[in-house]
Amino acid sequence: MIELTAAQVAAATGGRLSADPAVRVGGPVVVDSRRVGPGSLFVALPGEHVDGHDFAAGAVAAGATLVLAARELDVPCVVVDDVQAALGELARHVLATLRERGDLRVVGVTGSVGKTTTKDLLGQLLRPEGPTVVPRGSFNNEIGLPLTVLEADETTRFLVLEMGASGVGHLTYLTRIAPPDVSVVLVVGSAHLGEFGGIDAVARAKAEIVTGLAPGGVAVLNADDLRVAAMADAAPGEVVTFGTIPAADVRAEDLGIDRTGRASFTLRVRPGASAGADEGRARVTLGLVGEHHVTNALAAAAAALRLGVALPGVAARLSDARALSPHRMQVTERPDGITVIDDSYNANPDSMRAALKALAVMAGRDRRSVAVLGEMLELGDDSRVAHDDIGRLVVRLNVKLLVVVGEGAGGIHDGATQEGSWGDETRFVPDVEAASALLREELREGDVVLVKASNGSGLWRLGDELAAAGTARGGDHA
């Protein structure tokens, strides 16, 4: 973070100063006292189970020079009414200051699937151009986004932000903190339907990243998704589209998928879609597993081209890009001949379908495909039907063994049974431990195993267990 005095922090947050006004904050801004460094600002967030105020004294002892708090403490602090809101205000102030001082460009990425993959790809495309800040993991909410903004300093040229939403108005809040120069919208899908209340509400919420653009900003929209493409009408300025259809400004042609599930395509750029004016073509071979990553790669390419990266560099860096976040289409080859696809970080119907198709491609005709699937959370009234649909897709893709984990995922088992699976092809187990025991008995040399569920299911533990004996060669999926 840029160096600020305690008085400046108080002014930016509207807080009451209970410290020497000249105390300086120049270290990392943290909400976890274990991450404190010299000169840190410790943000004492109240939590459901843990209150950050209880760790303030320890944070100061570890090197923090100031605490952002909701009540008076026996340490140097700025006292505010709402710590989370104050954190956002501080990030907004710091970003505005940095924009006044230099040529910092902000990229915001949203979508029902693919956000984390795309921001990781963007980081790999932009870092060779200059200092770039990219969120750790999925820092995409009202806490994670301000913390990422506050990692930027005077040297930062690109700030890539993942923007998540679980309701209308959430992206308006995030774009108020950090108005993007380039807003990327990937897909309007069925993630969080239970919280949004319907697919149209999801579309309205995702469009907030377009209406929240900074003056002169560019909207980068998925032409293959009709709901995303329609957001062009809400864009305050220029629009660049990406996709596989001929009308897209940045598109994939001659698309192919190899037996490892990796896509190759010709990246074609329409005149005016990049910072330069010329049309161009370049060949790309992705290192990420799954055809769905073509969308993420095109989105990252379109944004990077608008930010001044030349087409040859974009193509070469996309081909060299690797997975950076765990449990997202991470492929491990085990010494016993079993291939594990760990996509257990999260799941919704769109990402589940994409992962199952990748499993079918990788297994082909010669290897046995095994799908270990848990519950997809936050689907509301559509949950039972969505799980049933996935079970039926498993059968249509000719997956040889389906293991359904937990009561919440039971609809997958039911759908597979109704579609025509029978006997030992479909197994239901109550929990991760039972799934682990079953797989120890069932897996054999040559199997390709997909592990996928929403994060709250705990199925990531099984992904770690299955992959522990092998060598990862990674993909990525959000």
Query: What does the pLDDT look like over 287-307, one tens digit per residue?
Result: 999 899 999 999 999 999 999
What is the C-alpha separation between 408 and 431, in angstroms, rounded? Answer: 10
Cβ–Cβ under 8 Å, residues 114 and 478: yes
Query: Residue 45: pLDDT above 90?
Result: yes
* Residues 37-41, mean pLDDT to the nearest whole number: 96
pLDDT band at 414 (very low <50, low <70, confident <90, very high): very high
Q: Which of 271-285, 426-440, 460-474 has the lowest mean pLDDT?
A: 460-474
What is the C-alpha radius of gyration for the chain, rounded to an integer number of angstroms?
Answer: 23
Mean pLDDT over the full length of the chain: 92
pLDDT for position 193: 55
Which residues participate in the annotated binding site?
111-117
pLDDT for position 324: 83
What's 2's DSSP letter? -
Share of the chain above pLDDT 90, in %: 81
For 32-46, b where at least 16 C-beta lie within 10 A, e where not — what string?
A: ebeebeebbbbbbbe
- CB neighbourhood size of 89 (10 A): 19
pLDDT for position 179: 98
Q: Which of 43-52, 124-133, 323-332, 425-434 has the lowest mean pLDDT?
A: 323-332
Strand extents, DSSP E, 172-249: 182-185, 218-222, 239-243
What is the C-alpha separation between 377 and 371, in angstroms, rounded? Answer: 18
State how far the alpha carbon of 356 is from the alpha carbons of 90, 283, 297, in Å. 43, 26, 20
Which residues participate in the annotated binding site for ATP?
111-117
What is the C-alpha separation between 438 and 375, in angstroms, rounded? Answer: 18
Q: Which of 207-211, 326-330, 458-462 has the lowest mean pLDDT?
A: 326-330
Q: What residue type is 369 in one-letter code?
A: S
pLDDT for position 476: 40
What is the C-alpha separation between 356 and 450, in angstroms, rounded? Answer: 8
Residue with tokens 């140097």: 76
Query: Residue 190: pLDDT above 80?
Result: no
pLDDT band at 51 (very low <50, low <70, confident <90, very high): very high
Name the residue with higher pLDDT: 137 or 416: 416
pLDDT for position 202: 87
Cβ–Cβ under 8 Å, residues 228 and 186: yes
Both tokens of 136, joined, read 């750790």
Query: Residue 48: pLDDT above 90?
Result: no
Q: Which residues contact 217 (CB under 8 A, 6 or more apart)?
A: 179, 180, 181, 182, 183, 236, 237
Both tokens of 47, joined, read 């939590």
Both tokens of 102, joined, read 């230099």
State how far the alpha carbon of 392 is from the alpha carbons of 197, 399, 417, in Å. 25, 10, 8
Cβ–Cβ under 8 Å, residues 458 and 434: no
pLDDT for position 363: 95
Per-residue pLDDT tens digits for 360-402: 999 999 999 999 999 999 888 889 999 999 999 999 999 999 9
Nearest one of 155, 191, 265, 212 to 478, comparing CA atoms:
191
Nearest one of 343, 356, 351, 447 to 393, comparing CA atoms:
356
pLDDT for position 323: 81
What is the C-alpha separation between 351 and 190, in angstroms, rounded? Answer: 10
- Cross-strand bridge partners of residue 79: 16, 69
Pairing of strands 158-162, 182-185: unpaired
Both tokens of 77, joined, read 């602090």
Please state the φ and ψ torsions of residue 459, each to the nearest 5 degrees: -70, -15
Q: Which residues contact 34 (CB under 8 A, 6 or more apart)?
A: none
pLDDT band at 194 (very low <50, low <70, confident <90, very high): low
Q: What residue type is 306 in one-letter code?
A: R
pLDDT for position 469: 66
CA 322 to the chain's CA centroid: 15
pLDDT for position 470: 59
Cβ–Cβ under 8 Å, residues 110 and 185: yes
